[in-house]
Structure 1
Amino acid sequence: MRAAELVGRQWLNTGGKELKLQDFRGKVVILDFWTFCCINCLHVIDELRPLEAEFADEVVTVGVHSPKFEHEADPDALKAAVERYAVHHPVLDDPELTTWQNYAVKAWPTLVVLDPEGYVVHVAAGEGHVEALRSVITEVIAEHDAKGTLHRGDGPYVPPPAPETTLRFPGKVIALNNGNLLVSDSANHSLVEFESDGETVVRRIGTGERGREDGTEPTFAEPAGLALLPDDLAAEVGYDVVVADTVNHLLRGLRLADGHVSTLAGTGEQWRDGSDSGPALETPLTSPWDVSWWEPAGGVVIAMAGNHTLGLFDPRTGRVRRFAGTTVEGLRDGAADQAFFAQTSGLADGGDRLWLADSETSALRWVEADGDGFALRTAVGTGLFDFGHADGPAEKALLQHPLGVAVLPDGSVAICDTYNGAIRRYEPDTGEVSTLAADLAEPSGATVVDGELVVVSSAAHRLERPVPPGLAAKLIEGASQQVKRPSTEIASGEVELAVVFTPPPGTKLDERYGPSTRLEITSTPEDLLVEGAGVGTDLTRRLVLAEGVEHGVLHVVAQAASCDDDDQIEHPACRLTRQDWGVPVTISASGPARLPLVMGGLDA
């Protein structure tokens, strides 16, 4: 299939040059369809780095940014995100999802490989495709090298000017017992301690290089959440602060006395499947975004943004376990082990409640004790596709991708409503939502110091105090918005849903220990599916849709295990490919009766 032209509003990381497909002729091209709110997309950016280095002369990666939220369509916000996440390849700004639709993309992230003559040769949805991509790219390079259609040399990437600020896209802030403030300086891969004014630097902890070294000259990779331990516990375990070292998939411990950093939890590898409970240093984590000591749970709760769960780390025993969630992305309340989360990115200890900002559902939620266990409740937010900026009763209020939360002295909750650039307040007693401050640059974290709210204004690269003492909340009546993603038309009645997966070259589906594939399907609303919901091992499923339902969302989780296809290898390497889709669908009598979702390969 001939590749479609790359159409958008502007190009970034090209020195101002507008690019066309013809400019990439002779190169293998990886199109990375992403949006900067999406944690899986951020994983893929990091996964592609070694491939980009390995095939620097033959391969060009092009990021196609197709926004989910309204804020992500802002060109300045995209420019900031490209710098924040160290995207070192050209990026096409696709605000109207034109190129997204031309390539029939249905999920963030999706990777499309083009050969040097401009033909689509491979498609992969989700993350974890590095080895498959390496195999495909190696084959394409060999074929076109032999044909004489491969052109080696530098690509079109032009780095932007280096910035000069003390902080660069800081993530979170906490108040220390000495009155100082500790900030995670995410894009500078370090922590910074300030005096109480939030401007005078006391010290920087970390060399500023991306890495995972312990000691008194530590390295981090985009650290985010910070949790101060109780004094008696800190004295017992030998560190004072737990750091969510997000891109390293680790928890780190900081001893404030001398700045010494140690690794507490995680292996450095991202959790993909299997057990996520056990000895902390032997159990993988996945993009821990925030952490909070919460006494009712008896440990440090981890906002595991990368797999839509909450984890729990016990500093005394050195063990970690899943605390809440199923790994399905969505919004579902109830018992902790059955709840759905969506990229939880902010936590705050509210005593008997642990408050959380669930970013992808634009929701404020909380966890509380419930009988012998814990339960999840939602204060603000309705699901994955609705957002906006509207105050009033909580059931009608709207947020847009909040990343932080803090408990105010009066017991109300301050929300860092990140993509609205606002600080919102939720009052539990009345169920009302109001706006405390607006016109902030992506507020992502907050803490309270002497009754005053200190906010991380991430895209402004500084701390701010935007809410003067005594300021009354103001009400905003805003419009409801929905995710820009186009709906997929399907037939009414019976539909075949087919997850397309072809094992990468040199591998095969491994059936030695049972089925190598798994497919789970649910829907919103739940009564959308008369038949076809549930878990099975076949990647093709017959669905029967309810009469009278015109719109809904199909939630699809697919996985496949592929192993080296060589019978001479005693212990072949196996890799798990997994992808989650939330597919908005429109049901009509004239719609197609087959819905293909490409997890890896090409749809025949």
Structure 2
Amino acid sequence: MEWLNTKGPVELKDLKGKFVLLDFWTYCCINCMHILPELKELEHDYANQLVVIGVHSAKFENEKDAKNIEEAILRYEIEHPVVNDNNLKIWNNYSVSSWPTMYLIDPEGNVVYLRRGEFLADDIRGILDGAIPYYRANGSLDEKPIQFDLLAYSQKPTPLRFPGKILADEKSGRLFIADSNHNRIVISSLDGELQEVIGTGEIGAADGAYSEAQFDHPQGMALVQDTLYVADTENHLLRKINLADKKVETIAGVGRQGSSNETWPGMGENASLDNLPPRFIGTPKTTAINSPWALWPHGDSLYIAMAGPHQIWKMKLDESEIGPYAGNGREDIVDGPLLPAIPYQQGFSSFAQPSGLTSDGKTLFVADSEGSSIREVPFNPRGSVGTLVGTSKLSSARLFTFGDIDGTARRAKLQHALGVCYVDGIIYTADTYNNKIKSIDAKTGFVKTIAGTGKPGTADDPAQFDEPAGLTHAGGKLYIADTNNHLIRVLDLKTNQVSTLTINGLEPLPVKQRPEAPAEAVQK
């Protein structure tokens, strides 16, 4: 097995005396992402008693590659060793059937706890707090600290760090970049001259002036006049930035992940209008939301790709209400009416981790990443969700059918596409795990690769990308957030030539430094 984020292989027998938490995960999975902060909290609180091991059991073909897993380890700032279970050997030995799954092994080598799905640190804390005194008393608990040789300790500073989404405004000549792992928003001119940096770079949720504000791995953005809306993804918040006053303000969310029974807030007064299905709405600042990933303004509303509950949400721009707009909450690729009367009701539309939004003014196009599909959502609430390219017509395996095939909508396949951008009848997509940019005819669904060899890299000719995630358009050019390359790329739609944009004046932020280990610490 390939071991990552540590000097070498880690064997369970060498961890006797520790609690060992095996986390079966795959890096595309939003539920797996949700528990990573919980694992980090446990690792810090029980540094001398608990060792977490990530067992990366890939879903997508691209996720089997060790280099791609290393990038995910860095992007998610993981602080424990990870084993590449690319052939699902450990997965099968432990009879795992879904992501995430965790096993807790006690200091004597016995599996004592199994948990499928998401959990909170406090769920495991209760078990550890009850058990540690017992193992400490019988002498089987080893409380020597262990320090792992993390990938983060060998990284070089870069001006951008895993940029996720990008937004161009041709009218003002500005480019807005979600510098996700620097926890800030960068504004430059379209030719790369730095204008503003919004955020301190430290993880947090502080409002205020640009130099005081904080974010936590922001993603999608939307511009309405002088207001920039930001999906503050890992804070589970929506923020707005007054570009004239240079102030950041929180407008939706409560600062923690909304649970499944909170993703359908109380019914609004408009529930019976014209026999529409009731729409559940809440007040934005008191409604818990869940991993907002992309934003799109239309009319008097802001549409939100809410990756966590697998839905499209809508918030009034006057900030009077927020709630689901499409999707029954089941993770799937299913077409049908927008929204059921009750959560999870079948016969209605289903999404699978929606992560990108664009529009032609009539239809909202969605990059539905876990189903490798491009969906169509009408702005008419009486309409139905459709699929332009993807798996909705399959009778099974809709979340497990993917590939790298151009051609007709029936034949074409994508692999975990995260970004979409509509321009003159064409939907350009960041086909993320294929490391390509593709065009999709918005009427026929015909797919064509326009840039990218498929192999990760930074070359401009022939163009290479490394898990690009965001797209935007201005002046006949596509601007691309080339996430794992920490770069912004530019694709000229007339010549199909790719170039790399330098943000002049943007300074790198410091990288994680290796801490000094206690004298008795075991190095791994």
TM class, shorter-length:
0.7 to 0.9
Which residue identity lines up with residue 108 of structure 1 in the other structure? W
1:181 pairs with 2:185: no
Matches within 5 A, 1:143-154: 143-154=134-145
Q: 1:55 aligns with which of 37, 46, 49?
A: 46
Identify the residue that residue 273 of structure 2 maps to in structure 1. none
Q: Does 1:249 align with 2:236?
A: yes
Deviations 1:304-345 (A, max 9, x none): 101101111112143211111111000111111121000000
Shift of 1:52: 1.6
C-alpha distance in 2 between matches for 1:97 and 1:174: 38
The 5 Å alignment of 1:546-565 reads none
What does 1:65-214 align with in structure 2 at a 5 Å threshold? 65-160=56-151, 161-176=154-169, 177-198=171-192, 200-214=193-207
Aligned CA distance change for structure 1 residues 398 and 147 (closer, same or farther; 3 Å): same
- 1: CA distance, partners of 2:493 / 2:337: 39
- Distance apart, 1:287 and its partner CA: 0.3
1:43 equivalent to 2:34? Answer yes
Structure 1 Cα separation of the partners of residues 99 and 28 of structure 2 = 10
Task: Select which of 370, 375, 387 maps to 1:378.
Answer: 387
Cα offset, 1:90, TM superposition: 1.1
Quick check: 2:290–2:306 contact (8 Å CA) kept in 1? yes
Partner Cα distance (1:24, 1:453) in 2: 50
Work out the number of aligned pairs and report it: 450
For the 8 Å contact 1:250–1:264, the answer to whether it is kept is yes
Shift of 1:202: 2.1
- Residue 82 of structure 1 aligns to a residue in which SS? helix
Looking at secondary structure, tell me which structure has more strand per residue. 1
| Corresponding residue of 1:393 | 408
Displacement, 1:396? 1.1
Question: Which of 433, 444, 451 is the aligned partner of 1:430?
Answer: 444
Question: What is the Cα deviation at residue 442 of structure 1?
Answer: 0.8
Secondary structure of the structure 2 residue equivalent to 1:223 = coil
- Tell me if the contact between 1:90 and 1:156 (Cα under 8 Å) persists in the aligned partners: no
Residue 520 of structure 1: aligned partner: none
Task: Name the SS of the counterpart of 1:204 in structure 2.
Answer: strand
Partner of 1:582: none
* Aligned counterpart in structure 1 of residue 488 of structure 2, from 444, 449, 463: 463
Query: Does 1:11 find its partner at 2:25?
Result: no
Larger Rg over CA atoms: 1
Relative to the length of structure 2, the TM-score reads 0.84
What are the ranges of 5 or more consecutive residues in structure 2 without an aligned counterpart?
266-280, 340-347, 392-397, 453-463, 498-524
My pick for the range that moved more, 308-317 or 28-37, is 308-317
Q: Does 1:271 align with 2:255?
A: no
Q: How does 1:506-585 map to 2 (within 5 A)?
A: none
What's the secondary structure of 2:208's corresponding residue?
A: coil
Does the CA contact (< 8 Å) of 2:364 and 2:379 recur in 1?
Answer: no
Tell me the CA shift for residue 131 of structure 1: 2.6
Q: How big is the shift at 1:204?
A: 1.4
Alpha-carbon distance, 1:258 to partner: 4.1
Matching residue's letter, 2:178:
S
Q: Which position in structure 2 is the counterpart of 1:352?
A: 362
Report SS of the residue matched to 2:219: strand
Query: Distance between the aligned counterparts of 1:107 and 1:455, measured in 2?
Result: 33
Q: Relative to structure 2, which stretch is displaced further, 122-131 or 388-397?
A: 122-131
State the one-letter code of the partner of 1:435. Answer: T
Counterpart of 1:376 in 2: which secondary structure?
strand
Structure possessing the higher relative contact order (Cα contacts under 8 Å, 6 or more residues apart): 2
Is this contact kept in 2: 1:420–1:442, CA < 8 A? Answer: yes
The answer to whether the 8 Å contact 1:28/1:140 transfers is no
SS in 1 for 2:123: helix
Q: What amino acid does structure 2 have at the position aligned with 1:386? A: T
2:293 and 2:319 map into 1 onto residues whose CA distance is 22
Q: Hey, what's the Cα distance between the residues in 1 that align with 2:186 and 2:28? A: 25
Residue type at the aligned position of 1:379: L
Shift of 1:348: 0.7
- Tell me how far apart the structure 2 counterparts of residues 307 and 66 of structure 1 sit (CA, whole Å): 22
Residues 107-162 of structure 1 deviation map (CA, whole Å, 9 limit, x = unaligned)? 10011100011110001011124332112222231221111010112224223324
Match in the other structure for 1:566: none
State the AA in 2 paired with 1:82: I
Query: For the Cα contact (< 8 Å) 2:466–2:482, is it kept in 1?
Result: yes
Amino acid at match of 2:5: N
The amino acid of 2:487's aligned partner reads R
Partner of 1:323: 325
CA distance in 2, matches of 1:86, 1:56: 17
Q: Deviations over 1:394-451 (max 9, x none)?
A: 011000000000012x211001100000111111233311111113111101111101
For the Cα contact (< 8 Å) 2:476–2:493, is it kept in 1?
no
* Residue type at the aligned position of 2:108: E
Give the superposition deviation at 1:101: 1.0
2-structure distance, mates of 1:418, 1:377: 22
Say whether 1:413 aligns with 2:427: yes
Report what 1:492 is aligned to: none
Q: How far does residue 349 in structure 1 lie from its aligned partner after superposition?
A: 2.2
Distance in 1 (alpha carbons) for counterparts of 2:450 and 2:475: 18
2:271 aligned partner: none
Bigger CA drift: 36-45 or 124-133? 124-133
State the TM-score, normalized to the length of structure 1: 0.73
Mapped contact 1:379–1:395 kept (Cα < 8 A) = no
Inter-partner Cα distance in structure 2 for 1:102 and 1:251? 42
**Tell me, what secondary structure is at the counterpart of 1:425?**
strand
Decide which moves more: 45-54 or 29-38.
45-54
Task: Give, as a single letter, the amino acid of the residue that structure 2 aligns with 1:244.
Answer: A
C-alpha distance in 1 between matches for 2:51 and 2:164: 30
In the alignment, which residue of structure 2 is the partner of 1:402?
417
Match of 2:466 in 1: 441
